[in-house]
Every structure is written in structure tokens, then in C-alpha cells.
Amino acid sequence: MKKRVVCVLLAGAMVCSLLAGCGKKTGSDSTAGDDKTLSVTTTFAGEDGNAQNYKDAVAAFEKQEGVKINDSSATSDETFKARVETDFQAGSEPDVLFFFNGADANSFIEEGKVVSIDEIREEYPDYASNMNDDLIAPSLVDDKKYAVPVNGYWEGMFCNTEVLAAANVEVPGADYTWDQFLADCEKIKAAGYSPIAASLGEIPHYWWEYSIFNHTTPETHLEIPTSVDEGNGPAWVAGMEDIKALYEKGYFPENTLSAKDDETFALFTGGKAAFLIDGSWKVGGIAAACQSDAEDPSTLDKDKLDKFTVTYVPTNGERKATDLIGGLSMGYYISKKAWDDDAKRDAAVKFVEYMTTDDMVAKFAQHTASALKAAPEVDETQFNSLQVKAIDMMAGVTSLTGAAQDLFNGECRISTFDGMPQIVTGEVSAKDAVAEGLATYADQTAE
């Protein structure tokens, strides 16, 4: 009898442990009865220049409102995007997320899993009232506005001036042409350095964007071609051919096809490569690389950071060098799940409002654009030398155009992003790779 009791108890324990994982999830990270918790995910992490600002702001908000933030921020990459999308599909989305406002957000907007700004304003009339609504990007799905922007972005060309000096090359200016760029690359290569730091095997994104932009205009750049022979189609092919030509001339690092992005970035910061095309977030990454403790800005080696600057991207067509890729591509969303939860609705709104006050946006935006109606004066004395150079560069920008890859996302990118090594080595022709991507895009948009 005793054995039978033990047997039943053990079996019961097994069943209970089995069923423990099948309970209804009441919120991604909240516990029952705990209405002072918000789950938040953003891209303010890793090398992002605002990672520390975000941590400070979250800590201050927690203290002020008594709300615990369960933060799952991560570096902005394809893995992050996939995770967010999967979370939404699985019903474990965060309460608040700072995410892209382009095609990447289409899936959860189509399913009505986030709340529009207008809907929130019906109950909270002052929500995002400090923003210029004309600058808030509407969704590609229903033309409604969902994401409250904070800081914009730009993509420019960072230079290691120490390498340029060693190769006797001037820091490029606002009228930098493609021919000048090629001549400079040749000099840099002859001096024993890699002219361009880029991992074509992992992150060809920036070169992909600008190489196409060089053959389009700010007005036409965001038009996705229907075929390689129509609209921007020939420009896309020409862009890929340009990257191939640079590769063949040996202007990328020897290991550009096998190295990861952080390895080629290390070549740049380590004084072995001259140019790096990347986003505004890399200002923070370069500063972190100049700190003895990447987490502690007080350990910054100012002399080392002074050797870096940022400038315009050479042009190879109608685009001016000062026409850059950039804009306000991300913003804060509130999930429908949090909105429908009375215990979380107010906290979620308060969090977004806290993170998008004028002062907070100015702090985050730094050298990038913002959507504020009245941006406060920026105190440049609090910025490091690279941030100041970025502000100077931005003062000369003639236009900011969104990235075509934000519209051309998912499987259609594979043939020209992951397939870039095959393009530059000639295994696949640029025309075939572009045609394959466009065909996939046509299939996606037809569904």
C-alpha cells in the first residue's frame, strides 16, 4: 500500500511538472498579480551609442514610477528582428518595443498586435504631442502611425585619419567623387593598408545601399524595381557591379568574405583600414573601442578618438556626396496586449511618454535628426570629438533618404545580401542575383 502511494505521488509529480509548462501565459515577463511590471525590448544595447543613455533612463523611470522594467534589448540585427517577429507570432510580445517602422513591422501591424498613436490619443490626448506628426512615418500596411520616434539615423563614411595620413590621403569632403575615392583607395592599398573595412560575407548592407543610391536619386531611390531592366533595375545591377569592381581591385580586406563584421570593424579601429561606411550608431561603437573599459565612458582615450572622423559618401552618379541615407526609421510601439491590460496600459503609455520627452529625445538624438516640434538647444560641450564631427557633417547634409532595404526585406534580400560573396567572386552575375531577389519580392508582394 505504501508503495502504491509513493507510486501515485511520483506519477502525480510528473504530470504536474508536465502541465506546469502548459499554463496560460499572462504576460511575457510579468507575474500574476504584479501590475507594476513592463516588458520592454529595444535596440539600445551592445555598441549602440545610446545604450548607456537608455539604461540610465530606464533606471530613472523605475525609480520615479515604481514600475519594474523587464528589459530584453539587443543589438539591432536580423536575429533581433526575427526574435521580435517570433515573439509576436507566439503571443509573447513585449508590452513596449522600440522597433523599425518599415516593412519589418508589417507582420504584427497586419495582425493588429500594436496600437496606433491616434487610438492612444483618444484616451491620452497628450500622447506624443511634442512630436511633429508629419515627420512620424506611417505604416506601409494601413498608412496609420504607430511608432513614436526618438532618434533618427544617418549612414556616413567614417575615416581613420591616421591611416589616411600614412597613405598621404586627404580626409574626403563634401564634393568627394567616385574617381577620387578610387584614386585614394589605390594610394591606401599601395601604402599597405586595407582601403575599406567591410565584411561582405556578413554585413554588406551599407555598401549595398549606397552602391545602388549612387545610380539613383533621392527622389527615386525608394522605388523598388519590377525587373532588372525597368525603373531602378539597371541601377541596382550597376551598384552590385561597383562593389564587385572594388573587390576585384583588392580594396576590401583580404578576409572580407570570411570575416565577421566585428573583425573588419576591429581592422578599422586598429589602424589597418581607412574607410568604414556605417550608421550613426557606430559613433558610439568607435568611442567604445577607444575606451579601456567599453562600459565606462570615463576611460575614453581622447587622443585615440581624435584620429577618427566621419564624412560624406563618394558619389558615382546624380546623387550628391552630401545626399545621405537616413531618417527616422524606428520608434516606440505599444502592444495591443499591454493596451488591453488595464494594469499595464497606463504604465506603458507613461513609459513611452517618459522616453520621448523633449529633453530625452535631444539626449538620444545627439547628432541625428528627431521629430520634435521644438528641439531644445544642444550643449556640445558634453559630446566627444567624434560626436561633434558628426554634428558638423550633418550640418552640410543636403538630403536624407530612407533605405531601400527597409522596404525590400526578408527572403528577397538573400540573393544580394547573403549572396554578395558569390556576386563579387563572379560565381553569380549581378544581374541574375538582382533578378532573383526582385522575383522573390514580386512573389511576396503578390501574396
Subset of 99-158 contacting other proteins (CB under 8 A): 107
CA distance 364 to 50: 6
- Burial (0-12, 13-18, 19+ Cβ within 10 Å), 336: middle
Taking CB under 8 A as the criterion, the residue among 70, 132, 161, 255 binding other proteins is 255
Under rule CB under 8 A, residue 79 binds other proteins: yes
CA distance 20 to 30: 16
Taking CB under 8 A as the criterion, the residue among 74, 166, 257, 391 binding other proteins is 257
Is residue 115 within a helix (H) or strand (E), and if so which, with residue range?
A: none
Asked if residues 149 and 370 have their Cβ atoms less than 8 Å apart, the reply is yes
Q: Which is nearer to other proteins, 397 or 407 (CB)?
A: 407
Under rule CB under 8 A, residue 398 binds other proteins: no
Give all strands (DSSP E) within 106-231, no chain letters.
Answer: 153-160, 194-196
For the bound state, the minimum distance from the C-beta of residue 99 to other proteins, rounded and expressed in Å, comes to 15
Rg of the chain (C-alpha set):
24
For the bound state, the minimum distance from the C-beta of residue 8 to other proteins, rounded and expressed in Å, comes to 6
Under rule CB under 8 A, residue 64 binds other proteins: no
Asked if residues 209 and 353 have their Cβ atoms less than 8 Å apart, the reply is no
Taking CB under 8 A as the criterion, the residue among 27, 195, 201, 225 binding other proteins is 201
Q: Which is nearer to other proteins, 265 or 339 (CB)?
A: 265
For the bound state, the minimum distance from the C-beta of residue 148 to other proteins, rounded and expressed in Å, comes to 25
Helix and strand counts by DSSP (H, E) for the chain: 18, 10
Q: Which is nearer to other proteins, 84 or 235 (CB)?
A: 84
Taking CB under 8 A as the criterion, the residue among 26, 64, 86, 177 binding other proteins is 86
CA distance 289 to 276: 14
Our measurement of the distance from residue 114's CA atom to the centroid of its chain's CA atoms, rounded to an integer in Å, reads: 20
Give all strands (DSSP E) within 145-223, no chain letters.
Answer: 153-160, 194-196
Asked if residues 144 and 118 have their Cβ atoms less than 8 Å apart, the reply is yes
Under rule CB under 8 A, residue 432 binds other proteins: no
Under rule CB under 8 A, residue 190 binds other proteins: no
CA distance 83 to 95: 15
Selected range binding other proteins among 75-83, 229-237, 295-303, 353-361, rule: CB under 8 A? 75-83
For the bound state, the minimum distance from the C-beta of residue 389 to other proteins, rounded and expressed in Å, comes to 26
Q: Which residues bind other proteins (CB under 8 A)?
A: 3-4, 7-8, 10-11, 14-15, 18, 78-79, 82, 85-86, 88-90, 107, 201-202, 253-255, 257-260, 263, 266-267, 270, 272, 410-411, 414, 418, 421-422, 425, 427, 444, 447
